[in-house]
Structure 1
Amino acid sequence: MSLDDTQGTAAPAPALTRQVPLHFKRHNFEAFCYDTIGCSVMYNGRYQVQKAADEASPPKPAGDYREGWGSAELGISNFPAPAEVRWKSKDGTAHEAKVDIAQIFKDELIWHNVPKEAMTDFYSGPVAGAPDIYLEVDDRTINVYTAMFIPTRQPQVPGNKDSDFRKDIFLVWSRTY
């Protein structure tokens, strides 16, 4: 069992994240478990996922399943203590990890891939809103993703007037145990 959360791999932020820096002071959170046994995720003082010790989580859904993700806990102030994750992988090996969301998002930048000229003026001041942060436990791997609703000047789907936004999902951090 490992409680070392510093060995994960951080992904580089998209170039537009640094070119058009949007900051956040609050975030939303959701955790998902796939192909695990007895998975539990504690974050912000409560269980985000709590399965019975012998309860198996289903495999990942087919297709682009992350497009259906949304956050269950909203408006969390940056940043509570690290997420505590306990689970067994499919082979029955027990794992424990602390995932330090504060360290992963230490610059408090919202990851996005939208040029400034394509964005509507959707915020004022130094804070642009609350991004979604997702923690995914998949067999032996923990992945942290983020997404943010960014209003755009033009529809993103031609002919669909209700598609005037982007909400790209980015892999931010990963570790296999």
Structure 2
Amino acid sequence: MASVVTAVVLFVVTILNATLLMSRLQLYNKLSVTATSSTTANRLGLKTASGAVVSSGHYPIIIGSNTLIHTGAAIIAEAGPITIGTNNIIEERAVIINRMPRGGTPSSARVIIGNNNIFNVDSHSEALKIGNNNILGPKSFVGREVELTHNCIVGPSCVMTCPELISPNSVVCGHQCT
């Protein structure tokens, strides 16, 4: 019973946090651009907070309109392209990376992130596919073989590394998320 109450409280607090963040996001007006270098990003009007890193290497990073990238956040296309939809919030020190697979050779895999997602402080995502309206809690980790569908919440400090398709409207939390 206590775990159900904890999950409900976590869900309510996360939704309130998301509502506040989305209202902050409406203050910003980002352009939809493909950022292939910091010079190109500045010329095309991509605005990130000071200290944010958008590093594409040899692969494109496409960021949709109204996406807010906070200070210290990192988006890294190490092994393939990354596409991020509209109205996403990538908070401080959050990391989105298309990481090199274990064989050490780049893959043709593309990271695709939908719309209206929130990557909380210190969250880390290597997932190849994230749908719409998901929330990654602070210090959470989502591995390359995990797919978040829609309206999912990954709780704070939750580590998901096993291959898994997370059903729509799921809440994953606790110490044994792997």
TM category, shorter: under 0.3
Larger RCO of the pair (alpha carbons < 8 Å, separation 6+): 1
Structure number, greater radius of gyration: 1
Structure (1 or 2) with the greater strand fraction: 1
Query: Whose helix proportion is higher, 1 or 2?
Result: 2
Report the TM-score when normalising by structure 1. Answer: 0.24
Q: Give me the TM-score of the superposition, normalised by structure 2.
A: 0.23
